Structure 1
Amino acid sequence: MKTNNQQPTTNNRKGILLVNLGSPRSTSVPDVREYLDEFLMDEKVIDYRWFFRALLVQGIILNTRPAKSAEAYKTVWTDEGSPLIVITQRIQKKLQKLVDVPVEIGMRYAQPSIEAGIQKLVDQGVSEIVLFPLYPQYAMSTTETVIDKAEEVRKKKFPGIKINYVQPFYNREIYIDCLAESIREKLPENFDALQFSYHGVPERHIYKTDPTNTCNLNDCCSRENNPSHQFCYRHQCFDVTNSVIKKLGLPKEKVMVTFQSRLGKDKWMEPYTDETLETIGKKGVKNLAIVCPAFVSDCLETLEEISVEGKHQFEHGGGENFHYIPCLNDEDRWIDVVKTLCEEKLHEFYLV
């Protein structure tokens, strides 16, 4: 462990920063309001012009939603704090035991911030950072906003450092193997359907991130070698699902893909998770397993929205047995994937 008067060594000139979404500091309404303000005022999340975004978020949403969200957070909060923060810290600690460079964490919203994470690495003599956005799929409201924020911080506060970004890994074999095995171990023997519920995004986000301007939110997702695939969240969700069910040897008729967590009245990607859960019981699905592969760490959207509210919706709609499959969290097999992806980017520094 380097003390304050030690000079940086060759090894710790490089470091790793794991970046996740973030969480309120506590379940108090003021803390939740502060978090939601930063989150929803991000132009990559609600992509209206500033005036209209502020009118919606600060004039409407923040007057009603914080109290409701605070109650939801209370149902998932642990003695250690926010599940998402706690799990990310566990990933950090496990990864640190496997690599010989410093590992820190940062959150896109709230604390510890990306800036704070970079500062911790710089304080340890790091000048070359592998930054890992912990999102399997690419979206402007996840990977893109993390990179934009990190670049903003780097240019303003740390112009001398270099950052290598781990790219979305939705189609990496090591990730698919990891996810498939995790699901296989937790999948109940008797299930009528396996539902893949991904975080939703407005349809316009898909068009905005398509550099080819060819997306039609239909058959283009299944075209081979489509250049827009590397930026298409919808394609990447279906690609993960198809790859996993192939690994698991599941019939496609037992699998469905839906999208959760929509906000406002704009058109979001369909089909919607909540509407599906409310109807599939009447269509003969009595035993349901559900997994959320847009997340690598369990959080409010999985532990409350799916595991609690989703279960209620399913049972209210005629379903009987609801089984939520947890995220990868700090499973050792997932830590190995994180290590491999980070080491690839660390190696690139040596090639320059």
Structure 2
Amino acid sequence: MFFLIWLCFFACVSHGSKAQQPARNLVIVTFDGLRWQEVFSGVDSVLLHDAAYTRDPDEMQRLYWDASPQIRREKLFPFIWGVIAHDGQLFGNRNLGNDMDVANVYHFSYPGYNEIFTGYPDTAINSNDKVRNPNKHVLGYLNQQSGYQGKVAAFTSWDVFPYILNKWESGIYVNADEDSLPDATPELRLLNLLQRLTAKPLDLRPDIFTYAAAKEYLKAYHPRVLYIAFDETDDYAHAGMYDQYIKSAHAEDGMIRDLWAYLQQDPFYAGQTALLLTCDHGRGTGDAWRDHGAKVKGSSAIWMAVMGPGIAAVGERKEHAQYKQAQIAATLANILGFTFQADHPIAPSLYPVLVHAEN
């Protein structure tokens, strides 16, 4: 009898420990300048019906509109709200008092990406110039850990990322904008050809090519950490094209769904991979939706979505709280079972919040 009780206890402890094991792999995706308003409430009715920003409001209304913000957001982001909201967590719905903001004072891209990956809102990072980042980032740190060397890769539409991630110092593989791809498979060779021959309407690599290249690289090389940086949402917003901003956001949600489906059928990744989505900065409201920066109210507001092994399936977080972008770097390392260390300050991790089911 004692043996049976001990056996049951051991089985329960073992099961609980297994459930809390960290992920072995990690995928990070950023949507440049995608507002929390669309993530949590779907399309903006004012911008949707403003002829200055939306060329065909009837089509956009048919595709994305509903009187309910919950249904609107599901139409716009079916993967985020159909999968992550069920299996993971979402931060940043300011309508519920769940705030997430950048800690840097600039509210634009390079400072935002530096903050995401270094955990340090360095005031010296104050432009989008192609300057090598002097700060140590978590992707470079992970690239130094046992089992992860040479297994960290980044695919980005914007050509400043090799400098943001300082590929020369960090040693990670960064493929950005017009960079050619490894000549390893027929699919990668075809993508090289297509991206050379395709017009670039936004003067950067279309996000679909960035995604396709990342997926084919993942299939061929099985990186343990993969970062995908989309860009079109920010560029279309600056151009005042709300309809294209929305369509790009919806398409990117579909790309993530496609990637997640692949990960679940590849034994290397299935059940062992975490996914984290976020953005580099927010934007203004009304006519100021096109812009962001220190002088644009609301552009510090961001959001985050995450799911994977050991992360509680809480869904939309409803507690009144203030979270910071700088906390993401340490969180990324913790998701894989590591503690990010650098010779500069690092904001505390959100991982303790992620593993508890209380909301």
Q: TM-score range by the shorter chain?
A: 0.3 to 0.5
> Which structure has the highest helix share of the two?
1
Give the TM-score of the pair, scaled to structure 2.
Answer: 0.36
TM-score (norm 1): 0.37
